Structure 1
Amino acid sequence: MNNTISIKIITQEDVAAIFDSHADRLFEIVEDAFLKASKGEVLFPDKISQIFDTQTQNRINCMPATLLGNKVAGLKWVSVFPTNAPKGIQNVTGVMLLSEIETGFPIAVIDGTLCTQLRTAAVGCVAAKYLAPKKVETVGFIGAGEEARMHFTLLKHLFPSIRTCKVASRHSATEDRFIAEFDKIIPDVHFIACRGDNSQAVADTDIIVTAISGQAPVLKARDVRAGMLYIHVGGWEDEYGVALKADKIVCDDWNASKHRTQTICRMYKEGLLKDKDIYADLAEIIAGQKKGRESDEEFIYFNSVGLSYIDLNFAHEIYREASLLGLGRDIVLAESDRVDYRCFI
């Protein structure tokens, strides 16, 4: 019997190489994960959050899941430290562990930092595919960090019609870095630094994205209008009035969200929103059970909480592609289950 336990270490560089020039694959993985879940092909335990500071929401999350059809289980261990942003360091870092479920052996450890950025932005883009207005020309960002940059990258891929991108941040230097990142590589887009003016960033946009590390209602209800799509990425980012103005509220998974601390979850706990006020989960729209956008006049609110089975679908695809392409580093953890007890005496 072979009791060798070998794992593949897959770095952030490997992950980037796998999706290089294959951005559409990101959206396919997201939709595939939602459909697997809708068919009952995933196990989806509750996320475990260790919150170290309730005010800043500095935390580490343990997010497990199983893809029964693919015979893999795993978890993402991801830290979210909003207090990192003022220090100029990334606020989300993580790793993913993948195991097969025939023997239970671990098979891979995968960078979860880039994967989290890709998954979060790809979910927002899949939502936009079904919920955005017919022609997307202007996007506005409140927040200008890693997640905002990844959302813009994938939104521009999905909607080549984008011609204007407005960005507001608490710090002008962050806006400047955002624009410097894209100004030369995407010359057909006019970038506008809003110098912290969130209202300017939102005005006359087709898609709004709030991607901030704080816990404050930076998006005001007075600034949203008919026809917009709002992609809510993180926690408490908008006034309650924003959701109350929505013609449709769509979630990645309402049941997984409702007891969290995001805006609509706070509203639910306070009795301002009820289950019936949630129009659909995104999976229902992808599967054709409910319609997405039905009118150019609809203001649609999309709430993303982050789902471990989507992360795991990414992990499985990354592991499969890394194995095919010869990427990653194979490490033997144990060659035998035999223990030489003499070394402990």
Structure 2
Amino acid sequence: MPDFSTLSGKDITALLAGHEKDVVECVRDAYLAHESGDSVNPDSYFLRFPDKPDSRIIALPAYLGGEADIAGIKWISSFPGNVGSGLPRASAVLVLNDYTTGYPFALLEAAGISAARTAASAALAAGVLAATPPASVGFLGGGVIARTIARYLHATQTPLTDVRCHDIDDASSTALRTWLGEECGAEARSTGVDEALDSDLVVLATTALSPHIPPTRTFRPGQLILNISLRDLAPELLLTANNVLDDVDHCLKADTSPHLAEQLAGHRDFVTGTLAQVMRGNVLTDPARHTVFSPFGLGVLDLAVGYHLYRRAETEGRLTRLPDFFGETRRW
């Protein structure tokens, strides 16, 4: 009989706490498996609403081979208007499917999983792409994703001795700055946008729908910009950069900054390669340029992290079993 379980957000939080390095390794392995072709990662599907142009719900189906050998889908909403009433912007669930039968076997609360895999991707990129440890880190955006990235940078020993926080909402910037001091022992302060962008390592974690960092902005050789929110940078800024993506075809769509750069240039020659190619030594970045890492966000990462947490939850007895979830368990 097929088995079905659920895993709550409270348990997801407990399973993630203190295991940041394990999550980074899950993400690293998933990137390498995807680069090797041991995955299926179709286009994400965006459900948009005419009367809520800033809101969307996204379906990310995927299959991850190797040891996991599972399929699944993340269904994640982004409603920025929630912030005004004190609710988190994003909410999500992750369904895991058995690859032998196709049956779903688990439903996981996935806002925490999504934030963790995003932050792990950022921390991994910082470790792989930064030529030297950054003397300063700047955050544009002071929400859950920025906070989670800060946690993962701290866990992977990225120095947080000079952290500059900027958000168009002063309360968010202050909250991030305070959290960094209390939880990471960071020397953090609220700054203007220009000072944050002057940092050695820049984290873009906003809800911007279109570029607001102008083409006249300059970045230094060796600066690393983690383009997590994907739409902050004017496309001209990418044409003079090392551009490292998680997946080229996925990232060059949906009006991301790399997609706009492709439209502006009329080609993809500005793309340096993928993070997995850099990890394998197949492509090199030019030290005379700044580097932009643009991760579109792959469903295989959610599967990798979600399945890792599912197995730990099974071992620790955290799963809630629903033995009668499936109505018919025999064909005849």
Is TM (by shorter chain) over 0.5?
yes
| Letter in structure 2 aligned against 1:265 | H
- TM-score w.r.t. structure 2 length? 0.92
* 3-state SS in 2 of match to 1:276: coil
Compare 53-62 and 43-52 and name the one that shifted more. 53-62
Q: CA deviation at 1:15?
A: 1.8
Distance (whole Å) between structure 2 residues aligned to residue 160 and residue 67 of structure 1:
29
Distance 1:139 1:54, change over 3 A: farther
| Letter in structure 1 aligned against 2:253 | H
Aligned to 2:326: 334
Structure 2 residue 115 is the aligned partner of structure 1 residue 121: no
Matched residue count: 329
Distance (whole Å) between structure 2 residues aligned to residue 11 and residue 177 of structure 1:
26
Distance (whole Å) between structure 1 residues aligned to residue 266 and residue 219 of structure 2:
19
Task: Write the deviation string for residues 26-84 of structure 1: whole angstroms up to 9, x where unpaired.
Answer: 11011110111122211112211111148733111111111233331100000112333
1:324 to 306, 315, 332: 315
Aligned to 1:281: 274
* 3-state SS in 2 of match to 1:77: strand
Distance (whole Å) between structure 1 residues aligned to residue 183 and residue 128 of structure 2:
27
1:73 to 71, 74, 96: 71
- TM-score w.r.t. structure 1 length? 0.89
Distance (whole Å) between structure 2 residues aligned to residue 46 and residue 294 of structure 1:
30
Distance (whole Å) between structure 2 residues aligned to residue 239 and residue 55 of structure 1:
24
1:76–1:112 Cα contact (<8 Å) kept: yes
Structure 2 residue 233 is the aligned partner of structure 1 residue 238: yes
Distance 1:216 1:49, change over 3 A: closer
Distance 1:302 1:206, change over 3 A: same
Percent of aligned pairs sharing the same letter: 23
Q: CA deviation at 1:286?
A: 2.0
Instruction: Please give the root-mean-square deviation of Cα atoms over the aligned residues, in Å.
Output: 2.1
1:169 to 158, 167, 182: 167
Compare 234-243 and 56-65 and name the one that shifted more. 234-243
Q: CA deviation at 1:256?
A: 1.1
2:210–2:232 Cα contact (<8 Å) kept: yes
Distance (whole Å) between structure 2 residues aligned to residue 68 and residue 54 of structure 1:
40
Q: CA deviation at 1:132?
A: 1.3
Distance 1:294 1:129, change over 3 A: farther
Distance (whole Å) between structure 1 residues aligned to residue 142 and residue 218 of structure 2:
19
Distance (whole Å) between structure 2 residues aligned to residue 149 and residue 200 of structure 1:
19
Q: CA deviation at 1:20?
A: 2.4
Distance (whole Å) between structure 1 residues aligned to residue 46 and residue 158 of structure 2:
38
Distance (whole Å) between structure 2 residues aligned to residue 259 and residue 185 of structure 1:
37
Distance (whole Å) between structure 1 residues aligned to residue 223 and residue 51 of structure 2:
32
Aligned to 2:291: 300
Q: CA deviation at 1:114?
A: 0.4
Structure 2 residue 42 is the aligned partner of structure 1 residue 45: yes
* 3-state SS in 2 of match to 1:40: coil
Distance (whole Å) between structure 1 residues aligned to residue 81 and residue 90 of structure 2:
11
For structure 2, list consecutive stretches of 5 or more residues without a partner in the other structure.
none
Structure 2 residue 220 is the aligned partner of structure 1 residue 222: no
1:41–1:67 Cα contact (<8 Å) kept: yes
| Letter in structure 2 aligned against 1:281 | T
Distance (whole Å) between structure 1 residues aligned to residue 46 and residue 293 of structure 2:
23
Task: Write the deviation string for residues 149-177 of structure 1: whole angstroms up to 9, x where unpaired.
Answer: 11111112223432011011111111111
For structure 1, list consecutive stretches of 5 or more residues without a partner in the other structure.
340-345
Q: CA deviation at 1:298?
A: 3.4
Task: Write the deviation string for residues 183-229 of structure 1: whole angstroms up to 9, x where unpaired.
Answer: 22333x211112xx2112222x1100111112243334425222210
Distance (whole Å) between structure 2 residues aligned to residue 138 and residue 71 of structure 1:
40
